[in-house]
Structure 1
Amino acid sequence: LPPAVKQPPAITAQSPKNYIVDPRDNIEIKCEAKGNPPPSFHWTKDGVDFHPEADERVQMRGDSGTLVVDVVGGGRAERYEGEYQCRASNSGGTALSDRITVQLSRSPLWPKEVIDPVQVKEGSSAVLPCNPPPGIPLPVIFWMDHVLQRLSQDERVSQGLNGDLYFSNVRASDARDDYICYARFVYTQTIQQKQPIKLTVQPGSRVDLYPPRFLSPVGASSTKMVLKGDVLSLECIAAGLPTPRIQWFKSGAEMPWERAKLLNFNKTLILANVTEGDDGNYVCLASNRLGVQRHTTTVAIEDTAAPYWLTGGPESRVVQPGEQTTIMCRATGNPKPSIRWLLNGGPIEEAGNDPNRKVDGDTIILSNLPEGTSAVYQCEATNKHGSILGNAFVNVLAVPPRILSPMNKVYSAVVNQTVHIECKVFASPQPTFMWYVPNTQTCISINGFDSAASDTLVVPRVQKGDAGVYTCHVQNYLNKNQSLARLLIKDPTRIVQPPSELRAQRFGVATFECHATHDPSLSLNISWFHDGYPLPESPRHELEGSGLTIVNVTEEDVGHYKCRASTELDHAEAEARLTVIDRPDSPMDLELTNRQDLSVRLTWNPGSENNDPIKEFVVEYEEDWFEPGVWHRLSSFPGSRNSVLLDSLSPYVSYRFRVVAVNSVGPSEPSLPTERCLTVSASPQINPSGVKGEGTNPTNMIISWTPMRGVDQNGPGFGYRVSWRLQSSGDAEWTTETVLNRSHVVVSGTPTFSPYEIRVRAVNNIGLGPEPDVVIGYSGEDVPLESPKNVRVEVLNSTIIKVTWEPVPLESVRGHILGYTVHYWHVRALGDRRRRRSNREVLEFQPVRTHGVVPGLRPYSLYQLEVCVFNRKSDGPASTRQQFHTPEGVPSQPENLRLYRPSQTSLKIDWDHPELINGRLTGYSIQY
C-alpha cells in the first residue's frame, strides 16, 4: 500500500516455533511487523502478559518487537525457557505471532563409568557400545582415537545408527586401548567424550569361517512405523567371516531407488519423503561364501500429520465501502484439525455480535462494510500433533487511483522477447484500465497485445515497430489517472562461433573459443559455466577475450562447458563437452589357467580406458633364475582381448607375467604380476649366434659366440659343444670341446692365417640342440711379407699429386688385406737449403685400389713418400722411397701494411713479407 494509506499490522518475521538456543549466548526472540501507523508490540509468556521493562536483563529493540535476553552479562538462561507469543497492534487491529517455545540446548556429560575391556577371539564379531547422553537436540556421534584421528570404517567395521561401533569380524590388528566415542552437540558447539574402550583380540591357531548372522537388528524380522512425509531409515549390520555383503530389495514391489540412498557401505537404507505406497516388507540380504541370511522389516506408514495450509493460509483483503468479502481458513491434517477464529488477538466470540459478520466453520463472510473500518482476523487450526496460526487483515478504504509505477519509465527489450509494461496502481474500489499503444488510439488486444492482468501490458515477441510510448489510463468513481512508459527495441545477442567438442590429454591444455554479436548500444559480457555452475576462479583457468583455456587438465575438468554471451537485456548460450583422456589404468585380477608343459592361459580384467580406447595389451614376463627382476616383452594382443593363450613359452623357465594396456596416449602402469609358472625341461631349440674364429697371434685362433639367453637354455646342465677343423683337411675328424659358463675357446698351435670350419652347438642334460651351421674362421695374422712395386708419382699442381703402385700378391699379405697406406712428409721448401723435421701424414686406400690422390701439399716444396700394404696385424714393409717437388704457387698476402704522410702530395708505404712465399718472390703490386 502507499505509505499514506492506513494499514493494519502484519507479522513479517518471527523466530521458529520450536526455538533451541545456546545457553551461553544471549537469547534473541524475533518479532517484526509492518503497518500504518507503525505497530506497537506486546508479549505473553506461558499465557501470561510479559513485561520486558520489568526485567533488567530483557530489552525490546526499538524498531521492532524483538526481545533480547542478556545471558552473557550474567542472566540465568533457564529462567527464560517457555512459550512466548508476540502481539503487534495499531489503530487498524492486532496481529499475532506463532507460539514460540524457547528451549535451551543441553550437552550433558557422560556419566562416570568404569568400562571393562572387550575381549573377543580373532575372527569373531564385536560391538563397542557408545550410549551417548541425551541432549536437545540429539548429538552427532563419531569414533576417534586418543590423538583425535577418526577411526577408519569399511564393510567390516562401521558405526550403527545408534552410535555403537560394529565389527563383522575381528582381526589381530584391531586390538587397541583407545576406542573413544565422541558426541558433538550442534547448538552449543561442544564435544563430549566417553571413557576409552580397550579391545583385546585373542589370537587363535586356526580362525574358523562362519556364515552371516545379524548384529543389528537381531533376528529374522522386525517392524517399523514412519509418519507420512518423514524419512525411513533401515539398518542391517551382520557378523560373518568372510565379511558379509549387504543387499536390499523390497518384497513384491520395486524399490523406489529414485528417492532411496544406500549409506554406510550399503548397511543403511534411507528413503526420503515416504508416502502410503512405501509401506511393505523391506528385505536385507547378508551373504558370504558360507551362506545367506535375510532380515525382513515390515514398514507401516501412518498417515498422521500436524495441521498444514491447503492454500497458504488466510489472505488479507482491501475492499471498498459496502463491498462483501470472505476470509477462508483452508487447513487440513490427520486427524482433521479444529478451526478457531480470533479477532485482533482475542476470541471472536468475545467481540460481540456484528450483523455484517458471519462465521461459517472455516469461512468468515463480511458484508456492507463501512468506510474506515479495519481489523485483523486470526485463524488457528489444531489437532493432537500441533497447531498453525494465520493472520489476515480486512481494510475498508475509498481511495482514488494512485500510480505506483515510475512515470516515463524506459523499457528496453531485444527482438522476439516478451515485454511486461507495468502500471501499478492503488485504488479502492479497483479501477478500470485502458491501454494505448504507440502511433494509434486503439486500446489492448490489438496487434498481438495481451492485457490479461489489468495493471500489466504483455507485448509478446516484440519487433522494431513496437518501439514507442505506451499510455495506461486508470479510473474509478472517485477520480482517474494515467502513466506513460517508453519501449526501446534492441538487436538480439547471437553466438556466431560456438565452442567445439574437445579431447585433451591429462595435464595438457584445452582451449574453447566463443564469439558472439550483440546490439552495439549494449555492453557484452562472456562468462563460462562448467556442468551448469559458474566456472570458479583458478590459476588453471585463463580467460582471454571470449575464449577459455584450461591448463594442466585433470579428471575434475571433464564435463560440459557453456559459453554465455550476455547483455543487460538478453543472453545467448552454447556449450561443448571436454573429454579428458589419459593412459589406461593398469589391468587387474590376472589369473593363470589351463597350465600345460609349455603353455598357459592368461586372463585379466581391463582397467579404466580413461576416455581413450585401449588399442592393445602387452604381455611381459620375468624369470628369477637368469635375470631376476628384469621384465621382457613377450607379445601383444588387440585391445578387445582379455584372455590369451601363451603357447610359445621356453622350457625350464620360472615365469611371472604382467600386462600393460596401451591407448593413443601411452602405456599404462604394469599390472600386478601373476604367481610363478614353471615350464618343463627340454633340449635346446636353438644354437648360439655370432659364431666367429679370429686369432690374436699367428699361432692361435679364438672361437667366440654370443651367449644364449637364460630362457633359451631349456634345462639344467647347459653348455656349448665347440668343434673345429682345418678347411683344407677335407673330411678329417673334428676336434671337439664342451664348455660351460663361458663363450669362447682358444685353439693353439695353428698355422698362420689358415681357414677353419667351426661349429658351436647348445647342449643340456636333456639333449643336444639342432645341428649347427658351419662357420669359416681364420687363425691369427702375421706381418705382410712384400711391399708394393713400381710406385710412381705424378704432380698434378702445386698442392696435389697422384700416386700409383702395383698390388702385392695376396699370399704375401698373411692375413685379411685391409688396404694400402701412403706415407708422405715435407722435407723442405725449395728455396731453403735446410731440412726441417716434419710429421708423417698417412692416407689409406681400399685394397682394390692401385692409385690414389694426395691433396693439401705445400707449393714449391720437396716431399718424400712410401706405400705399404696392411692387414689386421700391421703394415707390411715400405716400398722404395719416392721423392718429388711441387711447383710454385700463389703467395699469401703481404702483412702489416703501414701508411705514412711525409708531405701533402706524397705517401710512404711499407709492409712485411708474406708468411707463405710459395716460390721465388719477383715483386709487389700496389693498387690504389
Structure 2
Amino acid sequence: MARPQLAPWVHTGFLLCLLGLGGAIEIPMDLSQPPTITKQSVKDHIVDPRDNILIECEAKGNPAPTFHWTRNSRFFNVAKDPRVSMRRKSGTLVIDFRSGGRPEEYEGEYQCFARNRFGTALSNRIRLQVSKSPLWPKENLDPVVVQEGAPLTLQCNPPPGLPSPVIFWMSSSMEPITQDKRVSQGHNGDLYFSNVMAQDMQTDYSCNARFHFTHTIQQKNPFTLKVLTNHPYNDSSLRNHPDMYSVRGVAERTPSFMYPQGTASSQMVLRGMDLLLECIASGVPTPDIAWYKKGGDLPSDKAKFENFNKALRITNISEEDSGEYFCLASNKMGSIRHTISVRVKAAPYWLDEPQNLILAPGEDGRLVCRANGNPKPTVQWMVNGEPLQSAPPNPNREVAGDTIIFRDTQVSSRAVYQCNTSNEHGYLLANAFVSVLDVPPRMLSPWNQLIRVILYNRTRLDCPFFGSPIPTLRWFKNGQGSNLDGGNYHVYENGSLEIKMIRKEDQGIYTCVATNILGKAENQVRLEVKDPTRIYRMPEDQVTKRGTTVQLECRVKHDPSLKLTVSWLKDDEPLYIGNRMKKEDDSLTIFGVAERDQGSYTCIASTELDQDLAKAHLTVLGRPDRPRDLELTDLAERSVRLTWIPGDDNNSPITDYVVQFEEDQFQPGVWHDHSKFPGSVNSAVLQLSPYVNYQFRVIAVNEVGSSHPSLPSERYRTSGAPPESNPSDVKGEGTRKNNMEITWTPMNATSAFGPNLRYIVKWRRRETRETWNNATVWGSRYVVGQTPVYVPYEIRVQAENDFGKGPEPDTVIGYSGEDYPRAAPTDVKIRVLNSTAISLQWNRVYPDTVQGQLREYRAYYWRESSLLKNLWVSQKRQQASFPGDRLRGVVSRLFPYSNYKLEMVVVNGRGDGPRSETKEFTTPEGVPSAPRRFRVRQPNLEIINLEWDHPEHPNGILIGYSLRYVAFNGTKVGKQIVENFSPNQTKFTVQRADPVSRYRFTLSARTQVGSGEAVTEESPAPPNEAYTNNQAAIATQGWFIGLMCAIALLVLILLIVCFIKRSRGGKYPVREKKDVPLGPEDPKEEDGSFDYSDEDNKPLQGSQTSLDGTIKQQESDDSLVDYGEGGEGQFNEDGSFIGQYTVKKDKEETEGNESSEATSPVNAIYSLA
C-alpha cells in the first residue's frame, strides 16, 4: 500500500498562475505592438521527399505583420516559383511537388521575417534537408574463413543516409542474430565475434539498414562463414562441455581490444547530449568488461550499461562528467585496459534571455542577452533584422556588450531587437521588442470570478492587468481593511497574491486595485474553501493464488458539495472493468484472479478541485511455467547430464524439479518418474539402465502446483548388458488339486538391459534329491501339471536376454493344489452365554486330513423355530468363521427365545470339508424392544390420552407395560408417578392436575427377564382458552352432529355388506393370504415372520393382528472375554445373519391353532412373527 506524493496544490480557479513570477509581459492584442514570432520549424529540418515540404513561421502583432523569406541569405521570391506558396495570414511556406519537381533543388538555409510598422522579428535560420536512403553498393563477398577460437569482425559499412539508418543483423532464415557477450553488434554497425565457435557457421550473416523517413530496409549481401575446427559442431557432448574450449582443442588467449584499437583514445561530446563509450574485446574464454572513472565514481543516476557491459551510456552530459574513463577486459588468462579521455564542449545556452521591454515615455530600461558555452560564445545585436552598427544612431540607446541601456525613452524608440550568440557548435537567436506606450490600468480577466480552493493548501490568486507605466497592485479582503501583505499573505512583483495556507476563515471576496499615473482599475474574486479529498482506507498489497477472489478497498472522505469520482488504474493505465470485476464506490473486486491481473492498482478519488490516490500491488501466485530448452550432455554408458532453462516461477519459488522418462520398446508413450531434484538446480546427472532408448522431460513444482511438462528432449539409447536382477513376487500355487501355477511380476524396460527378455523357470519337490526341472518362458506364468496334492516345491525364476543371464535367483517355496478336507471337527460343545450369544469349543482335525492349508473352522447354524407359538421363522443357514487353527469361538446376534441347530466344518483353499454331527441349543428369553408408535394426545385441558402399539421385538412372553410420568412447569418438576399395565392394555388416560403444566411420559414393555428399551414423549403445550372454546363450540354445532350421524350410517351399511359377502365366501386360504403384500403399518418383511387370523378368530381389544418376530440385534464384541472364556473369541463376521427370513406357514398348523388362539389371551394378543 502506498500513497503517492501529491503536488503542493491541485485546484482550478481564477486564472491561477497565468503568468510565471518572472514571465514576459504580454501586451493586450488590441494595443499597438511590434511583431513576435510564435511558431517556427526546427533548425535542422529534414523532410520526406515523397511529401510536400512545409516550413513553418507564425507571428503576432498589431497591426498584423507581413512576411518574407530569405534562402541562403538572399531574398526568396515566393511569387516567382509556381510550386511555392505562403499560407494566408501566416508566413508558413508550402512547396508542392504534385506537378513534378525535385525536392533536392530546394535544400538550403531559410529564414523568416515578420514585419509591421513598429519593427521586424526574425525566425531561426532553418536548414532544410531532404531525407536520403541510398542503395547498398553491389559487391561480391568471398566466404570468410576463420580458425575456431579466433576473433572476427564482419563490417557493415552502411550507405550514408539522412538521418543515419538503424543497423541490425539477420541470419539466412531471416531471424535476428542471437547476441551475447561473445557475439554482439557495435555502435558502428559491425558484428564482433570475441571468439568464433563451430556453431557460428550454421548460418549466413547479412547486415540490414532501416531508414526512418522512407520506412525502407536495405540489405547487404550476406557473409558466408567457414570455421576450421577439430570437432564437428553438432557433437553435443563437446558443444556443452563445461570446459569446451580445451576439449575442442582451442588455445586460450588473453584479451585484446577489437574496438577501439590500442590502449587510449579520446572522445568529445556536447553538453546535454548522451555520451556513449564502447569497448569490445576478443579472447578465449570470452572476456568480461567492467567500467571505471579515474579519480571518481560513475554517475549512478545517469550511467547505464548496454550491450552486455560492452557500452557505457551517460545521459544528459554536463561539464563535470568530463575526465578519463577506462574499461577493463579480463578472463582467466589475464586482463587489459583502455582509457578514453572525455572532453565536454557546449553549444550556446541561455543564462539570461532578453525579454520584451514595455516602457512609458521618459522611462528607462534595458535589454540583457547573456549566454554561456564552450568555447565562450560571441554576442551580436541587431535591430529589425539589421546589424545594430548599420542602424540609425539613437542618443537614448547605449550598447554595453551583452546589454542595451535605454534612457528617457520616446515613442521613436519602438523596435524589435535580435540577440544572436554563437560559437563553433551552434547559435541562439532571440527577439525582444521595445514598446513605448501611455496606457491607464486595465483588468484582463472577468469581474467577480469564483475561485474554489482546498483547505490547508498553498494558493496564489492572480489579477491579470496591464498599464504603462506599469501599475502598482494592492489587495483587499471583503472590501475593507488594509492592504493584504505579510503574515499568511505574500504579494509578488507581478501582483499575484499568495495565501500560504488556506483556512476556513480565508473564504470571502478579494479585491485587487491597479494604479498608475493615468488612473486605476479594480477587479474582485470570490474565494470558497473546500474540504480536501482523502482516501482514509487504502488498498493493501495482497498475495493470492490464481482463481481466488480479491477485494481492494478504497474508502474516501470528500467535501459534500463536490462531486466525487473514483477510478482505477492498473500499471498506470486505465483499468478496463470486465465481467470478472466489480467496481463499487469503496472497493474493487476481482473474481477468479488470473496471472494477467497481477500488477500495481491505483485508486484515484477526484473532484473537480483535487484528488487523492493510493496504490497497492497484487501478486498472483501461479503454477510455474514449463521448463524449456532441454539438452543432453556428458553422454556415458550408464549416465547423462540433463540441463534445462527454468520457466517463470509465477511469484511462488520453485521447490522441486521432477524428471520423467519415456522409452519406446515396452511402454511407448507412457512417462515414468525418474528422479526429483531441488528447485535451485537446472542441471543434473541421471543414472541410466542399459538398452533403453530414453527421452526425458522436466516438470517444475511450487507451492501452487506443478507446471506443464517441458517439451521432450532428444532421444538417447544406452548399450545393452545382461540383466542385473530377476523378477520379483515369485509364487507357486495350485489352481487345481493336481497342478502348480508359478507366477511372477515381469521386469520393466529399465530392468531388461537388452533385447528378447525371457525367464528361465526351475522347480523340484522340496527335501528331495530330484534334479531341477526347467522351462523358458516369455510371459509371467508357467503351470506344472501332474503334481501330488499339496506338497512343497522349490522354485527359481531367472531373467535372461540376448546379452546373457541374470544373477542366480533366490529359491522360493510354493505348493501344489489342494483337495477338499477329509474330516470334520469332533466333540463340538455349546454353552449358552445369554439370549443372543453362545460359545463353541471343538477338537482339531488331524493335519493329514486337511489336504491343504487350514484357512478356518466354520460354524453353520440356523433358527429351527421360535418358542413363541405360531411364529414362523426362516431356516436359512447362517455362518460364523473362526480363522486359523482355533479351538473355540463365539456366535452372537442370535434371536432370543428360539431353537437353533448347528454344524461345523474345516475349510482350506479348496473349500469345505464334511460336516460334523448336528447340535441343538435354545436361547433364553430377552428384554423386549420399545413399544411402537407411542402417541400423546390432549383433547382438552382436563385429560391426556396415551396410546401405543406392541414392541416390534418381544424377545419373549410379554408380562405387561410400565409407565412413569411427571408433571413440570418451567423449572418446577412434580413427583414421579408409576403405572403398570397388563400386556393387553395399549391405552391410558391421565387426569391433569392443572391446565398449565406439561407432562413427560416414559413407557417400556416387560418380560420375565426385565424391562426393555423405553420410549419418552412429552405432552404438547396447553392450548389457550380461545382455542378450547372454539373447539367446544364446533362440537355442539348442528351441522357437525348431522355429519357425524351420516358417517355412522355409512359405516353400518358397509359392515352389513361385508358380512353378507363373507357369509357367501367362507375362509380365505392361507396361500392366498401370504401373497398379499404387507402395508406400511405391517411388520418389516425382513423379520422373516407372518401372522394370520380370520374374522372368526379376532384377538382381544387393543391387540394387533401381527407382530414382527425379528429380534433386535444386540451389541456384542463377539469375544469370550466378556463371558470369562478367554480372549480367542474375536472373529470376522461372527454371528452375522445372511439373508432374510421368509414366511413359512403350514395350513394344517394354522387351522389346528384356531381354537387355542381364542382361549389364550397371550396368543390372542401376540400372534408373533
- Please report the TM-score for the alignment, with normalisation by the length of structure 1: 0.75
Segment drifting more, 56-65 vs 440-449: 440-449
Distance 1:632 1:141 in 2: 48
Alignment match, 2:854: 816
Task: Determine if contact 1:314/1:391 at 8 Å carries over to the other structure.
Answer: yes
Alignment match, 1:246: 289
Distance 2:48 2:700 in 1: 59
Distance 1:408 1:7 in 2: 29
Alignment match, 2:188: 162
Matched, 1:696 2:735: yes
Q: Which amino acid aligns with 2:446?
A: P
Alignment match, 1:262: 305
Q: Which amino acid aligns with 1:29?
A: I
Pair 1:524–1:59, CA change in 2 (3 A): same
Pair 1:541–1:268, CA change in 2 (3 A): farther
Alignment match, 1:37: 63
The one of 163, 167, 182 aligned to 1:137: 163
The one of 251, 260, 265 aligned to 1:223: 265
Alignment match, 1:596: none
Alignment match, 1:209: 251
Query: Following superposition of structure 1 onto structure 2, how do residues 307-318 of structure 1 map, counting pairs within 5 Å?
Result: 307-311=348-352, 313-318=353-358
Task: Determine if contact 1:695/1:781 at 8 Å carries over to the other structure.
Answer: no
Alignment match, 1:576: 616
Query: Following superposition of structure 1 onto structure 2, how do residues 357-396 of structure 1 map, counting pairs within 5 Å?
Result: 357-371=397-411, 374-396=414-436
Distance 2:195 2:147 in 1: 9
**What SS class does the counterpart of residue 490 from structure 2 fall into?**
coil
Q: Which amino acid aligns with 1:26?
A: N
Q: Which amino acid aligns with 1:846?
A: S
Task: Determine if contact 1:405/1:422 at 8 Å carries over to the other structure.
Answer: no
Shift of 1:104: 2.0
Matched, 1:106 2:145: no
Aligned residues: 852
Pair 1:656–1:756, CA change in 2 (3 A): same
Distance 1:161 1:138 in 2: 12
Shift of 1:349: 2.4
Alignment match, 1:301: 343
Distance 1:588 1:128 in 2: 29
Higher strand share: 1
Shift of 1:580: 3.7
Q: Gaps spanning 5+ residues in structure 1: where?
A: 594-598, 727-731, 793-800, 826-838, 856-863, 883-889, 891-902
The one of 826, 829, 846 aligned to 2:881: 846
Distance 2:103 2:856 in 1: 112
Alignment match, 1:80: 106
Alignment match, 2:443: 403
Shift of 1:380: 1.4
Distance 2:111 2:123 in 1: 6
RMSD: 5.8
Alignment match, 2:909: 872
Alignment match, 2:469: 429
The one of 85, 94, 101 aligned to 1:59: 85
**What SS class does the counterpart of residue 631 from structure 1 fall into?**
strand
Shift of 1:273: 3.7
Higher helix share: 2
**What SS class does the counterpart of residue 88 from structure 2 fall into?**
coil
Distance 1:165 1:749 in 2: 85
The one of 756, 763, 782 aligned to 2:820: 782
Query: Following superposition of structure 1 onto structure 2, how do residues 655-674 of structure 1 map, counting pairs within 5 Å?
Result: 663-666=702-705
**What SS class does the counterpart of residue 225 from structure 2 fall into?**
strand
Q: Which amino acid aligns with 1:360?
A: A
Pair 1:193–1:666, CA change in 2 (3 A): closer
Q: Which amino acid aligns with 2:535?
A: I
Distance 2:209 2:279 in 1: 23
Matched, 1:94 2:97: no
Query: Following superposition of structure 1 onto structure 2, how do residues 552-563 of structure 1 map, counting pairs within 5 Å?
Result: 560-563=600-603
Shift of 1:320: 1.9
The one of 581, 587, 600 aligned to 1:542: 581
**What SS class does the counterpart of residue 79 from structure 2 fall into?**
helix
Task: Determine if contact 1:618/1:660 at 8 Å carries over to the other structure.
Answer: yes
Alignment match, 2:373: 333
Pair 1:429–1:645, CA change in 2 (3 A): same
Alignment match, 1:235: 278
Task: Determine if contact 2:136/2:158 at 8 Å carries over to the other structure.
Answer: yes
Task: Determine if contact 2:543/2:621 at 8 Å carries over to the other structure.
Answer: yes
Pair 1:530–1:335, CA change in 2 (3 A): same
The one of 481, 489, 497 aligned to 1:449: 489
Pair 1:803–1:576, CA change in 2 (3 A): same
Shift of 1:854: 10
Shift of 1:86: 0.9
Distance 1:769 1:439 in 2: 117
Larger radius of gyration, structure 1 or 2? 2
Pair 1:453–1:354, CA change in 2 (3 A): closer
Shift of 1:779: 6.5
**What SS class does the counterpart of residue 382 from structure 2 fall into?**
strand
**What SS class does the counterpart of residue 53 from structure 1 fall into?**
helix
**What SS class does the counterpart of residue 430 from structure 2 fall into?**
strand
Alignment match, 1:831: none
Q: Deviations over 1:401-431 (max 9, x none)?
A: 2111221211112322233222211122222
Aligned-residue sequence identity (percent) comes to 41
Pair 1:504–1:588, CA change in 2 (3 A): farther
**What SS class does the counterpart of residue 368 from structure 1 fall into?**
coil
Task: Determine if contact 2:252/2:284 at 8 Å carries over to the other structure.
Answer: yes
Query: Following superposition of structure 1 onto structure 2, how do residues 501-650 of structure 1 map, counting pairs within 5 Å?
Result: 501-505=541-545, 510-530=550-570, 533-535=572-574, 537=576, 542=581, 544-545=583-584, 546-549=586-589, 560-582=600-622, 611-612=651-652, 630-632=672-674
**What SS class does the counterpart of residue 393 from structure 2 fall into?**
coil
Distance 2:551 2:437 in 1: 64
Q: Deviations over 1:291-331 (max 9, x none)?
A: 3352413324153x3322212x2110112221111001112
Segment drifting more, 271-280 vs 128-137: 271-280
**What SS class does the counterpart of residue 266 from structure 2 fall into?**
strand
**What SS class does the counterpart of residue 483 from structure 2 fall into?**
coil
Shift of 1:36: 1.6
Task: Determine if contact 1:701/1:780 at 8 Å carries over to the other structure.
Answer: no
Task: Determine if contact 2:824/2:904 at 8 Å carries over to the other structure.
Answer: no
Shift of 1:853: 7.8
Distance 2:200 2:318 in 1: 42
Task: Determine if contact 2:455/2:530 at 8 Å carries over to the other structure.
Answer: yes
Task: Determine if contact 1:279/1:301 at 8 Å carries over to the other structure.
Answer: yes
Task: Determine if contact 1:819/1:871 at 8 Å carries over to the other structure.
Answer: no
Distance 2:577 2:139 in 1: 52
Distance 1:517 1:734 in 2: 101
Task: Determine if contact 2:837/2:891 at 8 Å carries over to the other structure.
Answer: yes
Pair 1:425–1:561, CA change in 2 (3 A): same
Q: Deviations over 1:726-784 (max 9, x none)?
A: 9xxxxx9999999999999989898756899999999x9999999x9x99989624156
Answer 1 or 2: higher relative contact order, Cα 8 Å, separation at least 6: 2
Segment drifting more, 491-500 vs 843-852: 843-852
Distance 2:764 2:485 in 1: 115
Task: Determine if contact 2:145/2:227 at 8 Å carries over to the other structure.
Answer: yes
Q: Which amino acid aligns with 2:89?
A: D
Segment drifting more, 14-23 vs 464-473: 464-473
**What SS class does the counterpart of residue 560 from structure 2 fall into?**
coil
Pair 1:737–1:439, CA change in 2 (3 A): farther
Distance 2:465 2:142 in 1: 78
Q: Which amino acid aligns with 2:258?
A: S
Pair 1:620–1:388, CA change in 2 (3 A): closer
Distance 1:587 1:410 in 2: 65
Task: Determine if contact 1:316/1:394 at 8 Å carries over to the other structure.
Answer: yes
Task: Determine if contact 2:764/2:793 at 8 Å carries over to the other structure.
Answer: no
Distance 1:401 1:149 in 2: 72
Distance 2:317 2:624 in 1: 43
**What SS class does the counterpart of residue 206 from structure 2 fall into?**
strand
Shift of 1:163: 2.2
